Structure 1
């Protein structure tokens, strides 16, 4: 067996080497490490505000792990990290798209549903030198224009991030985003970053479909118990109503809203029937979420929601 390993991007090419001589050499020069090996360095960055510790490029964000399986960890992300992350997401997105005929994406008003999370920039905890800290999914709202500059995916979201960050309660935010997704029959992609969140969004649809249908048929969020409980600003609710009305008008007006609400109610009333996502959005082409590692336990449920016709 050939035990040579091609050089990684971090390998110094100035020496003239194009690969490590063997896997054993690679293991010797780059041993396995754990978070514990970096804790002191990260503390120096977060607590003391020290620069040039783990990288010559200073971090712009400290990503926090969920703490599900261990204590919360802080992972420094530089501008280059964010750029590479967005490039990786873009690459995956385009690979999936290219697996379908180009004619599948001919409609100008096609949308994608991406569950977005975010809070206002001034609500993030910060390190000693003012670098925001939060879940990796919130980095767009934390570093705003920088993240969008590096974004390589021309995504036509159902609702803009500047609206979403105004909704501080996660459940309410997800509900509102789902209403704007469900009012649109022409969704071709359904994306939630993690499998647990994916299932949670479907559960919201199942548990609140009557309220969702009423909001859509009347283009009014007064029928949402979550909105009424967790959003106190009447002007902001009015903005949500106006934007919902604009979408309904775009697709055909009041008659369309009533028909769409009826369709949602009918499909969600069918209990224990697989493929609810494809039944709600007949044009839906694929769904994406993370189902590896500890998330594999959610895969059967997600496949049930996707059904046989929707690739995951």
Structure 2
């Protein structure tokens, strides 16, 4: 049975109960859920060129045939098909549903960013992960509905492929989607940053406005964060350089003239009023010789820092500990451009102890034992070595292989190795 509650559990809102019950149900019945997911994917995509190419003619939803015939692949194997889609070919090449856009991966292929196909339904599915985060977090840090989160979130540049499809980073896609912009009010997910500041493509104006709004509501901020640790450190360095301007704006109730984006100015001016005592407080703290603990000093009710500090981001842990005064560092989800995978059911663990629970509805997950990869040449890897989610062994290391609704089949995520923990 999957444990999702901490000791001394507080009162759980009904919506949170439903979310926790969902996690319990899909993880306790992972084998059944995974078979259903793979059947749905194969049925939806049964007429695609890709599956026909690999012998799934007329048996698109046959799991046994899929496991026997469909190979593991890397991005380079799919690149010709992805180029056809990017160039405007609308036939069902990889997916039976229309490709709505491409998500750009941070990895590269031939010097270019990887393009991951996405469909509209997949955006709906991925939004479900976000709805699970606070129900889990509330088990460990109760009372988050009594304040706000200062999250520093940013969009990046987007482009269009020759065929007219948008190509943009996964977080930019999420922040510009209706799931984010039109999200219903949730007392556990109230942020200090207005949407207009988050969606501003000018990184300076976006950062300035978000930090200003976070400072204006410093007493009600209960958690701070960004997606990646590097972005949060960048925000602290920005604050070190620009706090005199920010304090002046708060002192006078006027917004710096360099903030020229009209939507950002209008959004910020709704909350910006002269506050000499707050301005003096900020100046006093920021003028101190050491910035150790500056996060907890400026936002005194902060309970944790919500950032990804696993993998390559772990190098920032000492810096975050210094600036935050040792606040807990929370890594709450596990996602990529290819697929959203799961979440951390014990988010208050130290970064070195973080583990993630895969949510079986997100895609079909298989695992390649690391010993196969290390003892073999890439050319000899065989899809018959793959292990289903319910058949992994404790203590064994694996590479994650994913099949998605959007048209990735037995795709080697590549930069992920995972040790199975109890």
* TM > 0.5: yes
Asked whether 1:243 is paired with 2:270, we answer yes
Distance 1:163 1:105, change over 3 A: closer
Which aligned pairs between 1:82-101 and structure 2 lie closer than 5 A?
Answer: 82-101=123-142
Aligned to 1:207: 241
Q: 1:201 and 1:281 mapped to 2: Cα distance?
A: 14
Give the counterpart of 2:250 among 204, 209, 216.
Answer: 216
Aligned to 2:203: 170
Give the helix-richer structure, 1 or 2.
1
Q: 2:67 and 2:313 mapped to 1: Cα distance?
A: 28
Q: 2:292 and 2:68 mapped to 1: Cα distance?
A: 50
Contact 2:209-2:268 at 8 Å conserved across structures: no
Aligned to 2:151: 114
SS of alignment partner, residue 156 of structure 1: coil
Aligned to 1:260: 278
Q: 2:86 and 2:144 mapped to 1: Cα distance?
A: 45
Which aligned pairs between 1:285-304 and structure 2 lie closer than 5 A?
Answer: 285-304=303-322
Deviation at 1:240, TM superposition (A): 5.0
Q: 1:96 and 1:267 mapped to 2: Cα distance?
A: 30
Q: 2:214 and 2:150 mapped to 1: Cα distance?
A: 6
SS of alignment partner, residue 72 of structure 1: strand
Give the counterpart of 1:193 among 216, 227, 249.
Answer: 227
Q: 1:153 and 1:130 mapped to 2: Cα distance?
A: 35
Asked whether 1:77 is paired with 2:118, we answer yes
Give the counterpart of 1:57 among 97, 100, 118.
Answer: 97
Aligned to 1:184: 217
Contact 1:59-1:77 at 8 Å conserved across structures: yes
Deviation at 1:29, TM superposition (A): 6.8
Deviations 1:15-66 (A, max 9, x none): 9xxx99xxxxx99777543211221121111113424322222232311134
Deviations 1:144-180 (A, max 9, x none): 3365568896632223323543x43212211111101
Q: 2:84 and 2:292 mapped to 1: Cα distance?
A: 51
Deviation at 1:85, TM superposition (A): 2.3
Q: 2:225 and 2:72 mapped to 1: Cα distance?
A: 33
Q: 2:165 and 2:194 mapped to 1: Cα distance?
A: 24
Q: 1:68 and 1:39 mapped to 2: Cα distance?
A: 11
- Kindly tell me the number of residue pairs found equivalent between the two proteins: 276
Give the strand-richer structure, 1 or 2.
2
Unaligned runs of 5+ residues in structure 1 are 21-25, 249-253
Aligned to 2:15: none
Contact 1:278-1:306 at 8 Å conserved across structures: yes
Contact 1:83-1:150 at 8 Å conserved across structures: no
Distance 1:139 1:31, change over 3 A: same
Give the counterpart of 1:11 among 38, 54, 59.
Answer: 38
Give the counterpart of 1:132 among 155, 159, 166.
Answer: 166
SS of alignment partner, residue 130 of structure 1: coil
Task: Identify which of structures 1 and 2 has the higher relative contact order when contacts are C-alpha pairs closer than 8 Å and 6+ apart.
Answer: 2
TM-score (norm 1): 0.74
Distance 1:284 1:232, change over 3 A: closer
Distance 1:273 1:115, change over 3 A: closer
Aligned to 2:77: 37
TM-score (norm 2): 0.57
